[in-house]
Amino acid sequence: MPLEPAIESGDRSHTLAPVESVAQISSMLLDTDPTLDPALAEAARTAAAEGVVLLTNDGTLPLGERSVAVFGRVQIDWFAVGYGSGGDVKVPYVWNLLAGLRDAGVRVDAELATHYSTWSAANRPVFADSWGQWPHHFPEMPLDESVVAAAASRADTAVVAIGRAAGEARDSILEAGSYYLTDDERMLLDTVTSHFARTVVVVDAGNVMDLSWVADYRDRIGAVLFAWQGGMEGARAVASVLAGESSPSGKLTDTIALSYEDYPSAPNFGHLDVNVYAEDVFVGYRYFETFAPDRVLFPFGHGLAYTNFELSTEADADAGTLRLEVVVTNTGDRAGKEVVQVYTGAPDGALGKPARHLAAFAKTRLLAPGESDTVRLEVHVDDLASYDDGGETGHRNAWVLEAGEYPVFVGADVRSAAEVAAFEVPETQVVREATEVAAPAHAFERLTLARAADGSAVAAREPVPTRTVSRAERVLGSLPAELPQTGDRGIDLAHVASGTASLDDFVAQLSDEELSLLARGDVTMDSPLGAPGNAGVLAGVSESLRAKGVPPVTTTDGPSGIRLSAYASLLPSGTALASTWNVPLIEELAALHSQEMLRKGSDVLLSPGMNIHRDPLCGRNFEYFSEDPVVTGRIAAAVVRGVQSTGLSACPKHFAANNQETNRTRNDSRVSERALREIYLRGFEICVREAAPRTIMTSYNQINGVWSHYHHDLATVILREEWGYEGVVITDWWIEDAVDPDFPALEDNAYRVRAQVDVLMPGGVKTDAAPQAYADTTILDSLAREDGLTRGELQRTARNVLGLAIALKPVVDARTLEG
């Protein structure tokens, strides 16, 4: 596993000390047991195998009984996960590809394997001590052509492993060894393909990298397998696919273009201060299928199997819903699974729309040769609406179905899906009225759709609608009433949980100090109130709160595993999970993972990562799922349901538009309200509506000039008022200092609480100068000022946090008794 030594989480370069004695709390002994749940490991292996995407295959795979020579140091120094808090798990083992192939019974050339093993042992990967400076790749072993020729005399098939990694605070870069192949890797491919008639390339990565070389080598490379970083069991899963024990069934959740410059985000990615989302709603395949289908190497949804499938579709429409029955038949001679993908089109209308967008998907069960499965899916016409942020349809700030035909396509990827039905909308309809939120303050131009004389799509530009709403008026119009403070009346939180007292009765007891404590964590990471190595603790962070029955709630990093001092399972990366397109499988895996959370002492898993793969260079793409919000939302909802099945909490992140790691705490994502709603918030909306997460984490970046941890439009108007979210909103670790521009009597944490971002995590002030962490006084200072934070707002935050504490209290209390 390419993570040494242990890495701090988030922007977490401080070693922090506790702010108060907790001697009265039973200390939690460090869990040193390296034993992992076999059922969880098996589920992780299954998911990793189903997430492997077979890009090309001329029959070279599966390997079967052939003798195999394995090249590339990554066969041993396998990238199991990306860097940072999303992958830094203390895992007792990680399979590498060489061991996995041997485990799968593949006849690996022993002499070449020994050569690589010996060299790798003497040339271990070098990791920088500083945060965010880890290697994107490992230099290749020098290899004489005579070694390759000798291997070719002993084996008839070559497997070449190429690896890449990126991560938190570590974007990929447009250089050899990151997005591009190195000269040594090119030479390795040249030499191997000149000596072997059959060559398989395995790409071990968490991010899309340049694959234009696949076309360069043509039939000299018989098969290419994209092995998304699959965690501790990932290499073993890849080996099972290569060997033919498992049939590949993964599908791309991103478009792989011919060149980086073909991506519509390319001109506006990587800038230090501002990234303009000029491509607007034309993200990923939405852009390519509309404007540049000839610039695609592998389309969204693509993935081969070791067999073939035939799809037969029947459609039936009723009251705004199209019901599809798709019979999938395995017409080949090996078992396999297929993903049924449903896309819709739309009339251009006044808004201009992508040629296709994903509407629904499902995966079949494992089908034997000749066997069929019937997949039933629904498409709701209201879900095809577009958001009008400028009034072009006559309905500003509304979800609108423009008049015209909405074709429906079914197939195995976005490109090959064939039309099976259509909706006809006779006149423009308003599906849902909304309100302007988070609109840009700065004018810029965005991509839109025009038509040439021959009807072909032409890229055009139009000005983005800018902000018209007064935030000050909006905030003042929604300030909550204050509960008169009663002082301690002996009401315990257990009384609220049992229904013998109301939550308002409990909150009315709390002092201003206690209210402010509920609005921050226990100041320090690795809080003594939680399991050793935790990311932070919230809720019962003081003796007085714990005396009232408020439990300490322990958070741990995700999404690829529980990040504690204890051993834990390292699960497949987010992209690997999404590439399965298997919602029930992901939910089952997450439920087993939740059992491990119970055993290890985690109450809130900081997972799933949900940001859109806007650009292939984003370092944290491995944590996230897809360029598509429907895939993102449905897979995330599965994770949340699974984690919360034991009574614990998942915490989707990073809300919102965190699509770059470079200068991530200062960067401003400038995006239209339409793109924000249709692309960058849509996955979160699906997750909230389908799975009701108990916790959500904000992002580090600004969205149209406002840091997400101060963003009232996102945390209150969208999340709570529009979507009905009832959980807690926490910050990513630490926040940027700022004074509320509309209410100067509020700064920092008071500004945050007004936005209804409930809890500062881990709770202390972000500074490199302080020898110890400390909590600031901005909440109480503002509360004492005229025109400052109101007690009602602080009580509202307390209600949100206590709601989480009540939901988790049975689990936390049971763990305390066991301890």
Q: Which two tokens stand for residue 341?
A: 């993908």
**Distance between CA atoms of residues 293 and 121, nearest Å:** 45
Query: Quick count: other Cβ atoms within 10 Å of Cβ 173?
Result: 16
Predicted pLDDT at 766: 78
Specify which residues 461 forms β-bridges with: 447
Q: Which residues contact 413 (CB under 8 A, 6 or more apart)?
A: 251, 252, 299, 300, 301, 302, 303, 341
Q: Which of 304, 415, 293, 281 has its CA nearest to residue 351?
A: 281
Predicted pLDDT at 770: 56
3-state secondary structure of 330: strand
Q: Which residues contact 193 (CB under 8 A, 6 or more apart)?
A: 158, 199, 217, 220, 221
Q: Which of 171, 254, 373, 732 is catalytic?
A: 732
Predicted pLDDT at 812: 82
3-state secondary structure of 240: helix
**Distance between CA atoms of residues 792 and 717, nearest Å:** 18
Residue 356 C-alpha from the chain's centroid: 23
Residue 342: in which H helix or E strand, if any?
Answer: strand 339-344
Tens digit of pLDDT for each residue in 112-127?
999 999 999 999 998 8
Q: Which two tokens stand for residue 196?
A: 């072997």
Residue 80 C-alpha from the chain's centroid: 17
Give pTM, 2 decimals: 0.95
Amino acid identity, position 176: A
How far apart, in Å, are the Cα atoms of 589 and each of 43, 524, 592, 639, 692? 6, 31, 5, 8, 18
Q: Which two tokens stand for residue 78?
A: 């396998």
Residue 418: in which H helix or E strand, if any?
Answer: strand 418-425
Query: Quick count: other Cβ atoms within 10 Å of Cβ 720?
Result: 18
Q: Which of 760, 715, 733, 553 has its CA nearest to residue 647?
A: 553
Tens digit of pLDDT for each residue in 759-806?
999 999 877 765 567 899 999 999 999 999 999 999 999 999 999 999
Amino acid identity, position 746: L
Predicted pLDDT at 319: 80
Q: Which of 308, 302, 194 has its CA nearest to residue 256?
A: 302
For residue 284, with 0-12 CB atoms within 10 Å meaning exposed, 13-18 middle and 19 or more buried, which class applies?
Answer: buried
Predicted pLDDT at 773: 75
Q: Which residues contact 784 (CB under 8 A, 6 or more apart)?
A: none
3-state secondary structure of 770: coil
Domains of the chain and any CATH numbers: 44-248 (3.40.50.1700), 304-434 (2.60.40.10), 485-818 (3.20.20.300)
**Distance between CA atoms of residues 157 and 66, nearest Å:** 7
For residue 32, with 0-12 CB atoms within 10 Å meaning exposed, 13-18 middle and 19 or more buried, which class applies?
Answer: exposed
88 catalytic? Reply is no
Residue 266: in which H helix or E strand, if any?
Answer: none
**Distance between CA atoms of residues 319 and 321, nearest Å:** 6
Alpha helices in 480-579 (DSSP H): 493-498, 503-508, 512-518, 543-547, 574-578
Q: Decide if 569 contacts 593 (C-beta within 8 A).
A: yes
Ranges of beta strands (E only) in 437-564 are 445-451, 457-463, 536-539, 552-557
Tens digit of pLDDT for each residue in 50-59?
999 999 999 9
Q: Which residues contact 327 (CB under 8 A, 6 or more apart)?
A: 311, 312, 313, 372, 373, 374, 375
Taking phi first (over 0 means left), then psi (-120 to 50 degrees means alpha), and beta for anything else, what does residue 692 get? left
- Report phi then psi at 448, rounded to 5: -145, 175
How far apart, in Å, are the Cα atoms of 596 and each of 40, 90, 606? 9, 13, 14
Predicted pLDDT at 798: 98
Predicted pLDDT at 771: 54
Q: Which of 756, 345, 813 has its CA nearest to residue 598?
A: 813
Tens digit of pLDDT for each residue in 640-692?
999 999 999 999 999 999 999 999 999 999 999 999 999 999 999 999 999 99
Which residues in the chain land under pLDDT 50?
1-28
DSSP 720: I
**Distance between CA atoms of residues 446 and 279, nearest Å:** 6
**Distance between CA atoms of residues 387 and 406, nearest Å:** 16
